[in-house]
C-alpha cells in the first residue's frame, strides 16, 4: 500500500510534518556550529535555538526562559515527574505522595510505577464514564494530607478518547496548599487553546510530532521559580536540567510547527469537528451497534475535535485494525499488546468498561491532512470489515 493510497486516521499517534517545519529543518540541517561555542558559527547556532525558543514561548503564553527543549514528550514527562518530586522531597522529606489521574499516558504512568518502587506513594484519581476527572475524589486525595503531596499531574486532554480535563480546577485545589501541578498537553496543543501562564500550571509537556513537527523534539515548559532535579548531568545546558548539545535544526522545525498549529487552531478545530461529525454520523448508519466514547459535548472545555473513539461490540479491536489496514485505512486500537497478549486499555477500564468492550475499540484521529474523502473511504470499507471481525469474534467465542 503506497502513501498515495493510504487513508491515514492516526494523527494522535503522529501527524505528518507541515511544509513550514520541513523547510525550517532543511534550512538548518547543513549548518555548522555548536550552540555552546563562542565563535561565529556557534553564536549563529545559538541564535537559531533561542529564536525558536522565543517563538514557541510566544505561541503558548510562556516566557522564553520557561521553555526547556528536550527530546520529546516522554522525556518531558519524566523530567517533570522525577525532577519535581525529587526537588520537593529534598526540601521536605515528608513530601512522598504523587497524585495523578488514572488515565495518564504511559509516559507518565510508567515513571510513576518506577517512583513507587523507590518509595513514593502514588495515588491515581478516578474518572467518570466520559473520562473526565472526578474532582471530588481528587480534592479528597489532596486534602487528606496536603503536606505530604510532592506534586499533582493531570493531562490536559486524553490521548485515547479526547476528553479535556478541568485543569483550572485541578490547579486551584493544589495551589491552595502550595502544591505544584504538571500537565501533559501533548494532545491539546494545536487543537484547543493552550495558555501556560493563564492556566496557572507550574509545568507542562508539549511535543513536536503531534502538531506537524519532527519526531524527537519537545519541551517541558516550567516556571522559572520551580526547582527541578536534573535526570542527566553534563554541560549544564537548558537551565542545567537537560545537559547535551541543543539540536538547532529540530528546535527551528519545532517552532515552525507550533507557529503553524497555533495560528490555524481555531479554523482547524471547526474543520475537524465537521469531519468528525461526518465520521460519527456515517458510522451510526454503517454500524448501528457501534458506541462513541468520551465526552459528548462539543468545545475546548469538553473534548478534542480531532478524535473519535469507538467501541464495536462483539469484535476484537486488533482484528478490526488489521482488516482496515488491509484496505489501506490506518487507525489505532484502544488496547495495547504486551508480549503478544492483548490487554485492555487502562483508560477504557478506568472509564468503567469491561475488558471485552475495551478490547473491541478503535481510535480514529484526524489531522491537518485529513479530508472528506478520507472519512468517506473509512465509511465505505467499514461495514464489510465489521462483518468479518464480528464473524471472527463469534468463531473465537467472543460475545
Return the axis-axis angle of helices 167-175 and 135-144, rounded to nearest 10°.
20
With residues binned 3-state (H G I as helix, E B as strand, rest as coil), the percentages for the chain, rounded to 5, are 45, 15, 35
What is the maximum alpha-carbon separation in the chain?
70
Write out pLDDT tens, residues 358-390.
999 999 999 999 999 999 999 999 999 999 999
**Distance, C-alpha 31 to centroid of its chain:** 31
For the segment 156-173, the average pLDDT, to the nearest whole number, is 98
Residue 16 corresponds to which cell in the numbers above? 505528518
C-alpha span between 74 and 76 (Å, rounded):
5
Confidence (pLDDT) at 299? 87
**Under 8 Å between Cβ of 268 and 119:** no
Confidence (pLDDT) at 305? 97
**Under 8 Å between Cβ of 120 and 148:** no
Catalytic residue among 154, 315, 331, 337: 337
User: Do the bridges between strand 291-293 and strand 307-311 make them parallel or antiparallel, or are there none, so unpaired?
Assistant: antiparallel
C-alpha span between 243 and 113 (Å, rounded):
25
C-alpha span between 204 and 80 (Å, rounded):
8
**Under 8 Å between Cβ of 96 and 119:** yes
Confidence (pLDDT) at 398? 53
**Does residue 1 register a pLDDT over 50?**
no
Write out pLDDT tens, residues 205-258.
999 999 999 999 999 999 999 999 999 999 989 898 999 999 999 999 999 999
Residue 388 corresponds to which cell in the numbers above? 468479518
C-alpha span between 142 and 326 (Å, rounded):
48
Confidence (pLDDT) at 339? 40
In angstroms and rounded to an integer, the radius of gyration of the C-alpha atoms of the chain is: 22
For the segment 13-21, the average pLDDT, to the nearest whole number, is 97
C-alpha span between 61 and 199 (Å, rounded):
9
Tell which residue, 10, 15, 155, 180, has the closest CA to residue 77.
Answer: 155
**Does residue 2 register a pLDDT over 70?**
no
**Under 8 Å between Cβ of 382 and 286:** yes
DSSP 14: -
DSSP letters, 265-299, are HHHHHHHHHHHHHHHHHHHHHH-TT-EEES--S-S
For the segment 200-205, the average pLDDT, to the nearest whole number, is 98
The pLDDT-based confidence of 397 (bands split at 50, 70, 90) is low
Lowest mean pLDDT among 23-37, 140-154, 217-231, 333-347: 333-347
At which residue does the C-alpha cell 507541515 appear? 18
For the segment 61-79, the average pLDDT, to the nearest whole number, is 97
**Does residue 190 register a pLDDT over 50?**
yes
Confidence (pLDDT) at 337? 46
Write out pLDDT tens, residues 114-149.
999 999 999 999 999 999 999 999 999 999 999 999
Judge whether 331 counts as a catalytic residue: no
Confidence (pLDDT) at 334? 60
The domains located in the chain, with CATH, are 3-15+265-395 (3.90.1150.10), 19-259 (3.40.640.10)
Amino acid at each position: 500500500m503506497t502513501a498515495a493510497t493510504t487513508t491515514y486516521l492516526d494523527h494522535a499517534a503522529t501527524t505528518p510534518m507541515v511544509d513550514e517545519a520541513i523547510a525550517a529543518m532543511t534550512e538548518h540541517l547543513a549548518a555548522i556550529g555548536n550552540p555552546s561555542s563562542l565563535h561565529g558559527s556557534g553564536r549563529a547556532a545559538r541564535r537559531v535555538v533561542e529564536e525558536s525558543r522565543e517563538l514557541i514561548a510566544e505561541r503558548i503564553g510562556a516566557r522564553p526562559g520557561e521553555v526547556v527543549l528536550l527530546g520529546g514528550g516522554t522525556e518531558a514527562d519524566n523530567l517533570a515527574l522525577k525532577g519535581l518530586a525529587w526537588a520537593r522531597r529534598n526540601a521536605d522529606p515528608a513530601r512522598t505522595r504523587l497524585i495523578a489521574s488514572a488515565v495518564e499516558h504511559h509516559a507518565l504512568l510508567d515513571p510513576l510505577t518506577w517512583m513507587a518502587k523507590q518509595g513514593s506513594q502514588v495515588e491515581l484519581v478516578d474518572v467518570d464514564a466520559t473520562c473526565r476527572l472526578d474532582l471530588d475524589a481528587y480534592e479528597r486525595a489532596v486534602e487528606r494530607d496536603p503536606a505530604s503531596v510532592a506534586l499533582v499531574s493531570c493531562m490536559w486532554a486524553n490521548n485515547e478518547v479526547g476528553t479535556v480535563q478541568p485543569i483550572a480546577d485541578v490547579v486551584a485545589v493544589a495551589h491552595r496548599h502550595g502544591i505544584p501541578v504538571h500537565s501533559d498537553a501533548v494532545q491539546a496543543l494545536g487543537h484547543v487553546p493552550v495558555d501556560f501562564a493563564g492556566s496557572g500550571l507550574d509545568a507542562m509537556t508539549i511535543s513536536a510530532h503531534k502538531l506537524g513537527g519532527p519526531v524527537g523534539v519537545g519541551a517541558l515548559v516550567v516556571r522559572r521559580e520551580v526547582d527541578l532535579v536534573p535526570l542527566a548531568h553534563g554541560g549544564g545546558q537548558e537551565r542545567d536540567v537537560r545537559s547535551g548539545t541543543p539540536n538547532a535544526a529540530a528546535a527551528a522545525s519545532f517552532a515552525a510547527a507550533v507557529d503553524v498549529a497555533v495560528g490555524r487552531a481555531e479554523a482547524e478545530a471547526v474543520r475537524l469537528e465537521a469531519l468528525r461529525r461526518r465520521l460519527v454520523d456515517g458510522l451510526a448508519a454503517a454500524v448501528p451497534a457501534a458506541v462513541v466514547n468520551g465526552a459528548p459535548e462539543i468545545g475546548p472545555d469538553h473534548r478534542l475535535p480531532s478524535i473519535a473513539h469507538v467501541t464495536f461490540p462483539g469484535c476484537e479491536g486488533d482484528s478490526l485494525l488489521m482488516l482496515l489496514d488491509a484496505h489501506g485505512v490506518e487507525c489505532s486500537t484502544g488496547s495495547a499488546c504486551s508480549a503478544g497478549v492483548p490487554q485492555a486499555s487502562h483508560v477504557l477500564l478506568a472509564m468503567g468498561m469491561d475488558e471485552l468492550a475495551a478490547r473491541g475499540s478503535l481510535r480514529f484521529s484526524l489531522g491537518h491532512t485529513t479530508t472528506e474523502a478520507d472519512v468517506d473511504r473509512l465509511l465505505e470499507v467499514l461495514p464489510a470489515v465489521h462483518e468479518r471481525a464480528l464473524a471472527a469474534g463469534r468463531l473465537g467465542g467472543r460475545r
